[in-house]
A and B are shown apart, each in its own frame.
Chain A
Amino acid sequence: MKPVYFDNAATSWPKPPEMMEAMVRFNESIGANPGRSGHRLSIEAARVVYEARECAARIIGSPDPLSISFAKNATEAINCVLLGLLKAGDHVVTSGMEHNSVMRPLRFLERQGVGLSIAPCSPAGVLDPDDAMRAVKGNTKVIVVTHASNVTGTLLPLDDLARIARERGIVFVVDASQTAGSIPLDVVRTGIDVLCFTGHKSLLGPQGTGGFYIRKGLEESVSPLMRGGTGSASEFEEQPDFLPDRFESGTPNAIGLAGLAAGIRFVLGLGVEAIREKEAHLTRLFLEGMAGMPGTRLYGPQNVRQRTAVVSFNIVGMSPSEVAFELDEQFAVLSRPGLHCAPAAHRTIGTFPEGTVRFSFGYSTTEDEVRRGIEAVAHISAAYHKRTL
C-alpha cells in the first residue's frame, strides 16, 4: 500500500526532485567552503548561499537579502532572537498557542527575571487582539507569536498585533515555521520586525536549514547566540556587528542552503497563493468529511480562511497514539499523535495531556488521499465504538 503522508507540519515530504538535484550538484561540482578561501569554488559556494538568501528574502517580502541570517532551523533562530533581545527586567507577551521552540526559551528567560504574559486564546486557538493588548505592560519589549498553530492550524492576527507593537515601540517577532511557503507573507507591509522560518517544511528545503529576517538597525539590539569565524574582518578578535555575519558564525550548511534555494524556487514557481488555495480546498474537504462523524471530535476553526492545512481530531475513547497506530497499520495513513511539542496549545484547546491526532496536508497532497484519510478515520471509529457497545 502506498503510504499517505499527512505529516507535512513536522517536515514536508516528498520534496521536489529539483531540491535533491541542487544538493547533488553542490556536492559534485562545488563543495568548497563559501567565501572563506577566495578560489573559484569557494566563490561559487558563496554564490549558492547568496542565492538562498535572495530566495528566502523574496518569499517573505524582505527588500534586502542581507537582512536574512541563516540558522540550522526555526528553533535556533527563535533562540537567537529571544535570548539576544530580552534581559532581566524586560517584559514579553506571547500567545496561548505557542510551540515549545518559543515557550521553552521564554520559560528559561522568565527564570532569569524576564516578565512573561501569555495572552489567552479561545478553545479553537483564536487570539483576540484585545487580549494581547491587555497583556502589554509599560516595560513590554517584545511580542512574539506563532503565525499559525502547529496543532490546529489556527492563524493568529498578525496585522493587529503588528499595529499594537508599532504604536508602543515594541519589537514584533513572528514564528512563521508553519506558514513560510504556504501562506503569503510580507514582513514590510505587515510590519514584522523579526520573522523566524524553518527550511524543511513548506519551503520544501532539506532539514538543517532555517533562519530569520530582521528589520535593518534592529540587529544592534540583539546580541548573537554564538560567536566565531565568519570569513570577514578576520584581523579582529571581536565579532563583526554587521549583517548577516553578526549572527552567522562557523561554516554554514551550504549544501543544505543549495537545496533550500531550489525548494523555495519550486514554491515560487507554483506560487504561494496557489499553494494556499489548494491546501485550503483540501482542508475544507477534510473538515466537511469529518463533520458529524460519530464518535469523533474536531479541533480548530471551522472556517478554512482562519487556518492552515493542519487539522487535529480525536476518536472519543481511543488514545491519539492508538488511532495513529491503526491509521498506519491498516491504512498506511501517516499522522502525528500526541502533544506536537506544544503543551500550551493543547492546554488551550482542552486536549492536554493526551493530545490529538494531527493530519497536515502539503502542496502535493491529493483529494483522493484526503478521502482515504477520512474513510480510514471513519472505519477505525466505527470499529472501536462497535466493540465498546
Chain B
Amino acid sequence: MSGDKTYCVALFDSVSHVMKAEKLLKEADIPYKIIPVPRSISADCGVCVRFLPEQKETVMEALRLHIHVREIREL
C-alpha cells in the first residue's frame, strides 16, 4: 500500500450484515462498493463495504441505529 488514505471500509459481523448495510446505504443514496476484506485487515474470508473517506459521517449516520458496525478503517 502506498499509504494514501483514499478509501474507508466498514467491517461487519457477517455477510448478512453487509447485505443489510448495503440496503441502508442504497436507501440513503450513498456510493459504496462491496469488496473482499483486505488481507491487511483480516484473514477472514468475508466481505466489507468500501466508501470515500469524506462520506464517513454520512455512512455512520445511515447505519448507526440499524446495524452493528464492527469497525471503520481507513486504507
Contacts and interface: CB of A to CB of B under 8 A. Distances in A.
A347 B52 CA distance: 65
Interface in B7-54: 13-20, 22-23, 34-37, 42-47
A368 B35 CA distance: 55
B20 A245 contact: no
Interface stretch (A10-18, A227-235, A359-367): A227-235
Contact of A38 (B16, B20, B35, B67): B35
Interface in A34-65: 34-39, 42-43, 46-47, 49-50, 53, 65
Contact of B13 (A38, A39, A47, A232): A232
Contact of B46 (A35, A49, A53, A244): A35
A66 interface: yes
A46 B19 contact: yes
B20 A232 contact: no
Given A38-B36, A43-B34, A235-B42, A66 B17 contact: yes
Interface residues of A, number: 25
A47 B22 CA distance: 9
A240 interface: yes
A46 B20 CA distance: 10
Nearest to A230: B14
A234 B16 CA distance: 15
A223 B17 CA distance: 21
B45 A66 contact: no
Contacts of B22: 47
Nearest to A68: B16
Contacts of A47: 19, 22
Given A42-B47, A240-B13, 17 more contacts: A35-B18, A35-B19, A38-B37, A46-B15, A46-B18, A66-B16, A66-B17, A66-B20, A66-B67, A231-B15, A231-B45, A231-B46, A233-B13, A233-B14, A233-B44, A234-B45, A240-B14
Closest 7 CB pairs of A and B: A35-B15, A38-B36, A50-B19, A232-B14, A242-B13, A245-B14, A46-B15
Interface of A: 34-39, 42-43, 46-47, 49-50, 53, 65-66, 230-235, 240, 242, 244-245
